[in-house]
Structure 1
Amino acid sequence: MAALESVEDVEAGPGLIGVLRDRLDGIADRWVGHIVAKNSAYLDTALVSLPDLRKSCRDNTDAVLRLLTGDAGGEPYAVIRAGARRQAERGVPLDSVLRSYRLAGLAVWQELVDCAAGDPALLELAGSLWLIIDEVSAEAATCYHYHRTELELLRMAEQRRRAMVDELLRGRGRDASFLEDAAVKLDLPADSPYLVFAVEPTSAGRPGVEMAAETLAAGGFRSVWQVSGEVLVGLVALEKSGPEAVLRRLRPAMRGRGGAGPVVAGLGQVDEGFQLASIAMATLPAGAPGLATLEDHLPEALLVRSPDLADMLVRELLGPVLDLPGREGRHLLTTLAVWIDTNCSVAHTATRLYCHRNTVLNRLNRLEGLLGRPLKGRATFVAVSLALTAWELRNVRERGRER
């Protein structure tokens, strides 16, 4: 604090500093100009706009002037520490950060010379100025190193957590010692039932579900959400409530396509839950936001899990209809799908399609002739229903590729 004491002995110091306070904007502009001209790597690395840089320079200059007068009110070092933390987070090299503070001293000194050339107190104030710049630089360096160390520890912890989740998804949870370690490191119960999620990012690359862990924590659920490959994996412990409570909380937060598997017995079985959650996710249109549970999409899940068999089912059962020229085949299959959805009601199908019931009957007769079988009986009904579902899923996939 020697510099703060020495400036009090300079009679003209407070007067000159008062003048500098009036010129705060000019000093900030000088400092920005020096950074752009002599330390441009700082600006490039920081990924900060010039208006933001100017505001930061002005705030830091004000802190330096308050330190020069011994005015410690308002924690002037807080501005310095906050700036050092930001630059540490952005990965700006420490040398560039410290060089920017030397350029701040230059900007203040140039303003002093402009407004007080010939003043005998100028040289004494200059000594105090550079001592303050050294103190500010040392404070910034200390805070920078501390925050970089903190960030590195967080990064290492995140890597360990990601590795733990990846190992669980590979089936390592069957190893009792690994399972115990993973439960401790992830802060999750080993023997609780789990609901597992697979969620794709949005088309803009943002997370497919917003603040999932925080949303669930508000309801008393412990969970871990970790990116694995290109998919966000969610492991939700059902310690106090069933899966319905989790789904109610997450559905409004969905922004991408997601799936939830059936409940699994413990943390050691989340690999099975994730595989089934991924299948549930694939039953939804590509790129469409939503959350599918496997139990609600079992027929689609069967087809998604066996895409070759699904394509064969479409080809063998619906091929003669799909081979029709123009849009006739699509009109016939749409009629068939609506007829099945309305519990085989000709009247309701006609209403849904805005056509006469005789038109529906004619289309159904045409379909029976093309398919070579009557649209009756459990075996035919199940086969045709699955074939239609497979055809719709294929159309959904093709539309997703076109986006």
Structure 2
Amino acid sequence: MVASSLAERANDVTLSLGDTSGGFHTRLAELCTASVRSVLQSLTVDDEFDPTPAAAVGAARAQAGQPLAAAIGIDRVGFRRLWDLIVTEGQFTTETGRDALSSLTVQLHGIEDLYTRAMVSGYREEQTRKLLSEPAHRAVLLDELLGGLVHDRWAVRTTANQLRLPVTGPYIVVAAETLDVGFVGLAEVESKLRSLDVYSAWQELPDLQIGIVHVPSDLLLRRVLALISRLAAGQVRVGVSDRFDDLRHCAHALHVAKITMQGRSQPSAPVAVFDGSLLATAAVNEPDVMVRSVRPVIDRFSDLSDDERDTLFRTFQVWQQTEASVRETAELLACHPNTVRQRLRRIERRTERSLSRPRDIAELCLVFEVYHRLM
């Protein structure tokens, strides 16, 4: 009679037992109520215990991310409180009553064991399902981020959490070419980065391997680039974007990383890193327009051999990097300063621009930036 009465008030009984849902969502609390009703009904009639509600509770807890040990502990406390409630409600004072209580206690222990097995089974089945579906789900999330489809701040936070990325930057985007179907340019890069305490999320496409990497310090950035350089081993081209703070900028960062990867990399630097300078940004923002604009200038060197043209362009690049120091440029290129001056004059004549005029210097810097990054 006591169990039957309590079963009719399953919702109130669940509330009186405390937080059997473990503080998780309303749906889980409803399932816990159904489980309590199932337990009490098994005490009332001789039918076998129905494990379905318990399995549903386990699956809901796995979905909510509740640890299994905590779930088992919560249920153990719940069953103890249920036993106390039965004793209080039943007022078992007579000899017959005490015999009934003893019988109910044995039944309850048996049902608790069956309940726990069903709940754990449901929990583990849901965990397995989540693990099997996670790669596909991560791929969808990465597609949305890299495609610029995530705009809302809270959606960004949710996506970052599901990808196991920190919510705040800075980040970089890495693009590595895939040489052949089934060939991964940067093998096991995500796990190797994790060993450096670096969080990242990666996607493998037929012709490209893309990663979003969290780099909160200059030291970690250097370690990440060193690792990627070792994995690339000079066999694949890799482009890296400049650092950015908001995951909503992933689409632009991917665009930059891909263009940087496709640029003219130095043999000594297998990983090409976009520096984020105004000049570089101007070169890559509208690549088609920029290539069309500078091609007439570059074509003025078309009659030269590849080696001779590359020597002139390399001389200008080093001269620019040394802040127009002929002496330093000569030292870096292992040639005489007069040789540097002669090469620069040849560039002036062919481009019809003067390195003594700031506007012409700015144009030539942009021309060669576009050439090295896009052509």
What is the CA-CA distance between 1:163 and the residue it aligns to? Answer: 0.7
Contact 2:179/2:207 (CA < 8 Å) preserved in 1? no
Pairs within 5 Å for 1:22-37: none
Pairs within 5 Å for 1:151-300: 154-202=131-179, 206-228=183-205, 230-238=207-215, 242-255=220-233, 256-285=236-265, 290-295=270-275, 299=279
Instruction: Tell me which moved more, 209-218 or 297-306.
Output: 297-306
> What is aligned with 1:384?
364
> Residue 150 of structure 2: SS of its match in structure 1?
helix
What is the CA-CA distance between 1:227 and the residue it aligns to? Answer: 2.0
> What is aligned with 1:16?
none
CA gap of 1:371–1:330, structure 2 versus 1, over 3 A, is farther
What letter is aligned with 2:226? R
Contact 2:260/2:373 (CA < 8 Å) preserved in 1? no
Contact 2:315/2:340 (CA < 8 Å) preserved in 1? no
> What is aligned with 1:345?
326
Q: Which runs of 5+ in 1 are unaligned?
A: 1-148, 398-403
> Among the aligned pairs, what percent are the same residue?
21
Contact 1:189/1:267 (CA < 8 Å) preserved in 2? no
Pairs within 5 Å for 1:49-198: 154-198=131-175
CA gap of 1:177–1:254, structure 2 versus 1, over 3 A, is same
Contact 2:315/2:343 (CA < 8 Å) preserved in 1? no
Q: Which runs of 5+ in 2 are unaligned?
A: 1-125
CA RMSD of aligned residues (A): 4.2
Contact 1:310/1:390 (CA < 8 Å) preserved in 2? yes
List per-residue Cα deviations over 1:174-229 (Å, max 9, x = no partner).
23453344234322332343222222213575212122112111111222111246
In structure 1, how many angstroms separate the alpha carbons of the residues matched to 2:261 and 2:204? 15
CA gap of 1:206–1:191, structure 2 versus 1, over 3 A, is same
What letter is aligned with 1:277? A
CA gap of 1:339–1:174, structure 2 versus 1, over 3 A, is closer
In structure 2, how many angstroms separate the alpha carbons of the residues matched to 1:351 and 1:242? 29
CA gap of 1:335–1:353, structure 2 versus 1, over 3 A, is farther
CA gap of 1:221–1:310, structure 2 versus 1, over 3 A, is same
Where is the helix percentage greater, Structure 1 or Structure 2?
Answer: 1
In structure 2, how many angstroms separate the alpha carbons of the residues matched to 1:250 and 1:197? 9
What is the CA-CA distance between 1:168 and the residue it aligns to? Answer: 1.7
> Residue 338 of structure 1: SS of its match in structure 2?
helix
